[in-house]
A and B are shown apart, each in its own frame.
Chain A
């Protein structure tokens, strides 16, 4: 135990001494989270809406009030039918809502089922497709409000993420990416560094069992990642307003499992190379690309071609992100992520097994 602690202390000192790397490791998740959460967002913000309403009846005015009060839309004023095209072209509005001339009467007829005439037309500047698609659905639901229920049209509700906030989508993705990158890259590089400088040889000549050297290496990185986990969850909850809807204990437990898996992956990488630069390349290229492409972080897995979908099954991040979405955003109980947890656990065991075996072989 004493020798194990000496090693943990040594590894901790390595990390603390390398303050620049530590800073990157601690700040990277914060910066990524804020970037994806605020700057790069696919959600619809400040959609400017102009309104055409020949008769400004009470219900029309109420509908316009609702739009004006909504934080995602800005009311740009009433315009006439003839101005629509000009307004959109000049970029003074992103969307125009056109109310039917006798809105109130038509609504009545609709709700009694006597007519199926359109009561509302939404015209969007679709040069920004995201804004047009997401905005139109949302705008419609706001304007029609309660009317929607009584009408013979589909009553669309977006569950879990009604405003289509992209943070809901990105936070689990970032968690999946950050942990695997930091854990796998840091451990593999730090093991390979010792091979490169020759200190590993000295350690192997010593009576310390190799497995202890390895585990001692993982301890500080594991701690560091736990710190990251805490930062990410706090930022997600209090800055990005992502709900921690489900069981937080389950979420943390699942994340810890994923951390161990990532560390094992790093150990595995370190057994297949002897150069720091190679280790860095492997973990950056071999991990970044598949994790971003095949984990469902950006592209929905359901949209992938069959072959790529099959590949995505071996990317651990895919299962982690799926489980985090269920736990965090949908607020489902732990039972619902048992399948993902089992897959991740199996992957962890397999990776540790293979990595230790390869590591021991290396000694020969």
Chain B
């Protein structure tokens, strides 16, 4: 087992004449919480889609969980978890049914699903809601549930695309506690976010501007490098350079 879970070199995605992602290269270490930042339209969602096998790179190379992103997309899918920016559970199914569905998708046995369901709900202190329709849960609860469902099959790395959009600071805080717990358990977390306070929680962050990675490092190092008091300031310094508008 190598210490690098994800590694890309010169990864590029073009849509016609438009280069959405322009030769990005970086590594993510196992167990890291890697923040993938960038303004809207900077290309972070496109980059993330390539890493998850949802989109095919135009050029470049890379591996995720030890598999080649150009050739072994299907293998990669077994080893990653994904939580989209938009809500990823089914509102008209109950908590239990949602968990069972995702467990089934990843080939877990019935017994395993039942065991992990209890475990998961205990972790959220949620057991009483097992037969509640997901649609009737508050947004913050749904997001926490979605995160744990995305990691139900114990992926080596989980991709979170703006997981905390639209919830209050307290719930975001609780959500990050879950992320920390997972990372402590050995799951690598790859997260995109708009909130710069969240960037501070990451082990390392990269900041994309106009399809390229402009800064990469631990939040403390970046702040030193750009002589800024906060990540927010670093981000704003870099975002000012952007020529692209959404």
Residues on A lying within 8 angstroms of B by beta carbon are: 2-3, 5-7, 9-10, 13-14, 17-18, 197-199, 201-208, 363-364
**Looking across the interface, which residue of chain B has its beta carbon closest to that of A6?**
B104
A10 contacts which chain B residues (CB < 8 A)?
Answer: 90, 93, 97, 101
Interface residue? B105 (CB, 8 A): yes
Interface residue? B85 (CB, 8 A): yes
- Centre residue among A6, A17, A208 by max chain B CB count within 10 A: A6
B127 contacts which chain A residues (CB < 8 A)?
Answer: none
* Mask of B104-133 contacts with A, CB within 8 angstroms, 1/0: 111100000000000000000000000001
Q: CB distance A2 to B77 under 8 Å?
A: no
Whether A206 contacts B101 in the complex (CB less than 8 A), given A13-B92, A198-B88, comes out as no
Given contact pairs A205-B54, A207-B77, a sample of 7 additional A-B residue pairs in the complex whose CB atoms are under 8 Å apart: A10-B97, A13-B92, A14-B93, A199-B89, A201-B54, A205-B80, A206-B102
Q: CB distance A3 to B87 under 8 Å?
A: no
- Centre residue among A197, A202, A204 by max chain B CB count within 10 A: A202
Complex Cα distance, B150 from A3, in Å, reads: 16
Q: CB distance B92 to A205 under 8 Å?
A: no
A201 contacts which chain B residues (CB < 8 A)?
Answer: 54, 82, 84, 86, 88
Rounded to whole Å, the gap between the CB of A216 and the closest CB of chain B is 11
Complex Cα distance, B89 from A2, in Å, reads: 20
Interface residue? B56 (CB, 8 A): yes
Whether A13 contacts B105 in the complex (CB less than 8 A), given A198-B85, A207-B77, A364-B55, comes out as no
A363 contacts which chain B residues (CB < 8 A)?
Answer: 54
Interface residue? B23 (CB, 8 A): no
**Looking across the interface, which residue of chain A has its beta carbon closest to that of B105?**
A206
Considering the complex of A and B, which 4 residue pairs feature the smallest CB-CB distances, nearest first? A6-B104, A198-B86, A205-B82, A202-B88
Q: CB distance A202 to B82 under 8 Å?
A: yes
Does more than half of chain A's interface fall in helix, strand or loop, or is it mixed? helix
Q: What are 26 inter-chain pairs, A to B, with CB distance below 8 A? A: A2-B104, A3-B104, A5-B104, A6-B103, A6-B104, A6-B105, A10-B90, A13-B97, A14-B93, A17-B133, A197-B91, A198-B85, A198-B87, A198-B88, A199-B88, A199-B89, A201-B54, A202-B82, A202-B83, A203-B105, A205-B52, A205-B53, A205-B77, A205-B80, A205-B82, A206-B105
Complex Cα distance, B54 from A197, in Å, reads: 17
**Looking across the interface, which residue of chain A has its beta carbon closest to that of B150?**
A202
Q: CB distance B100 to A6 under 8 Å?
A: yes
Complex Cα distance, B53 from A70, in Å, reads: 73
Q: CB distance A364 to B56 under 8 Å?
A: yes
Rounded to whole Å, the gap between the CB of A259 and the closest CB of chain B is 25
Complex Cα distance, B230 from A142, in Å, reads: 98
* Mask of B61-105 contacts with A, CB within 8 angstroms, 1/0: 000000000000010011010111111111111000100111111
Contact of A199 among B56, B78, B90, B104 (CB under 8 A): B90
Rounded to whole Å, the gap between the CB of B83 and the closest CB of chain A is 8
Whether A198 contacts B84 in the complex (CB less than 8 A), given A3-B105, A3-B107, A207-B105, comes out as yes
Q: CB distance B107 to A2 under 8 Å?
A: yes
